[in-house]
Amino acid sequence: PLIVFVGLAVLFFFRLKAGDPSAIPSALIGQPAPQTALAGIPGLTREGKPVPGLNMTELKGQVTVLNVWASWCAPCREEAPALNRMATDKRYRLVGLNYKDDPANAVAFLERYGNPFFAVGADAAGRSGIEWGVYGVPETFVIGHDGKIAYKLVGPITATNVPRLGEAIEKALRAKAEDDEVELAAEPG
């Protein structure tokens, strides 16, 4: 029994250290994004204006990056600077899904760490998180202009995985540009 236990312990140790935990596969890749429509967070403003709620139907036709976050999430604090840098790129929309959070705490979090989001939906009950297949927070999704999920990052955005996330965003932007060119070529005149 001791040899079996040691063997299993060694196997588990090496399997836990193998691979990238942020690369957990998602059955939603290539599937239409859930048509989430959530109210905004009361009292949340950006540049003096109320931040709208999240309505994925309104974002169709654009490349969208959806970040699932919460004020009680320690890794969300770590990724806040990366999200604020991402928000400066106007080629896509950066939106947030506030997961199982107290509205006052969510507002305080974004006031402290910066609000990179064009729109934020409050998912107080966690129902939308279930529709998105969220394992935990933070998670980030890239949604193509066609409304399909192109990429999912589990865990915080870090220096290690930001190249993969950036690559997925660029790929989605290229697909949009190619489709726009085809559409323009097809127009008479």
Q: pLDDT by residue (tens digit) across 116-143?
A: 999 999 999 999 999 999 989 999 999 9
Query: Using an 8 Å Cβ cutoff, are 171 and 57 in contact?
Result: no
Tokens of 170: 């660029």
Helix (H) / strand (E) element for 50: namely strand 49-50
The model's pTM is: 0.84
Cα-based distances in Å from 76 to 69, 99, 154, 175: 6, 11, 12, 29
Q: pLDDT by residue (tens digit) across 9-55?
A: 877 776 665 555 545 566 789 999 999 999 999 999 988 899 999 99
